[in-house]
Copies of this chain bind each other. A is one copy, B any other.
């Protein structure tokens, strides 16, 4: 499978590929952690090399989301799909193209740019996090919204380049 793409078949590559197949949207670190279990001396660099190679030849797709520090990888390629991510726990799920066909959105004004692609990411709160957050609210009576944020810069708030979605 890798052979005819000009890549040598190695244990790290096979294990990494298998992991991503069973764990869609895994990031380099998750893959590394998994490989480290079975192989003794794998390093993060190895994993980065692997995902770069596999992405280049088209076996993997690199999924880079806004607000998300690390890149994620998946084997579901070829079909154009979007993603929805929980703003609380970071969990990612696939979302089929909203409009349908692959070319799905076009802006009014491209500012003279040749449009290459449109990236759509939905953000939300998953059921588990919703539940957990409710529990927390019960404990923390009412959040002091206009808190005069003392010394500590408390805001880990995920503000983003996003638009309100219809519900």
A interface residues (Cβ-Cβ under 8 A, vs B): 6, 49, 52-53, 55-56, 61-67, 72, 80-84, 86-87, 93, 95-98, 102-127, 130, 146, 148-149, 153, 155, 157, 159-167
Contact yes or no, B67 A67, CB < 8 A: no
Inter-chain contacts of A163 with B (CB < 8 A): 80-82, 97, 102-105, 117-120
Known: A62-B161, A105-B166, A114-B125. 13 other contacts (CB 8 A): A62-B160, A63-B161, A64-B67, A64-B160, A66-B66, A72-B161, A95-B107, A103-B163, A103-B165, A104-B166, A111-B126, A115-B167, A121-B161
Contact yes or no, A161 B83, CB < 8 A: yes
Inter-chain contacts of A124 with B (CB < 8 A): 110, 113-117
Instruction: A81 to B163: give the CA distance in the assembly, Å.
Output: 7
Instruction: A81 to B109: give the CA distance in the assembly, Å.
Output: 12
Contact yes or no, A166 B95, CB < 8 A: no
Inter-chain contacts of A95 with B (CB < 8 A): 107-111
Contact yes or no, B61 A161, CB < 8 A: yes
Contact yes or no, A56 B118, CB < 8 A: no
The 6 closest A-B pairs by CB, nearest first: A103-B166, A113-B124, A63-B161, A119-B162, A117-B162, A80-B163
Instruction: A96 to B153: give the CA distance in the assembly, Å.
Output: 32
A73 to chain B, nearest CB (A): 10
